[in-house]
Amino acid sequence: MIYLTVADVIAIHDELVRRYTGSFGIRSQKLLESAVFRIQASFGGELLYKNIFEQSAAILESLIKNHPFIDGNKRTAFVSAVTFLELNGYKTKFDAARTEKFILDIVAKKKTFAQIANFLKKNSEK
């Protein structure tokens, strides 16, 4: 399994800000680290997130909820989750309008963790 590092997520954020505008900067390094490392969490030697879709959902949800960057948290969260899937051999295909609505539903707490993982799974293939 290839995991994203904090530096990877910062690079994703900075590239998105350069490309689509927004503000650079980290609001909370600790919240950023918490989001990035959540997908590797374990208890008793067992990963808490059992499959790649749960892991990608964890980074997506955490980056949105933790809001570690000054700007661009939703974009960074989505691209980080997709990048994680792609680094691990998945091809992804997302409809832009449907994905934007889904992300906004996560922000509004209208989507469960299981729904987030399922959304990522439905839009990915090995």
Has residue 46 been placed in a domain?
yes
Q: What is the mean pLDDT of each run of 10 residues along the chain (126 residues)?
A: 97 97 95 96 92 98 97 97 98 95 96 97 95
Has residue 40 been placed in a domain?
yes
Residue closest to 122 by CA, chosen among 85, 88, 87, 97: 85
> pLDDT at position 18, please?
96
Has residue 84 been placed in a domain?
yes
Has residue 22 been placed in a domain?
yes
CATH number of the CATH domain containing 55 = 1.20.120.1870
123 - beta bridge partners?
none
> pLDDT at position 116, please?
98
> pLDDT at position 102, please?
96
Has residue 76 been placed in a domain?
yes
> pLDDT at position 72, please?
95
Has residue 1 been placed in a domain?
no
Structural domain total, the chain = 1
Has residue 118 been placed in a domain?
yes
- The whole-model pTM stands at 0.94
> pLDDT at position 25, please?
96
C-beta of residue 54 within 8 angstroms of C-beta of residue 88: no
Has residue 23 been placed in a domain?
yes
CA distances from 7 to 10, 12, 21, 29, 61 (A): 5, 9, 20, 11, 19
Q: Cα 62 to the chain's mean position, in Å?
A: 7
> pLDDT at position 92, please?
96
Domain that holds residue 30: 6-125
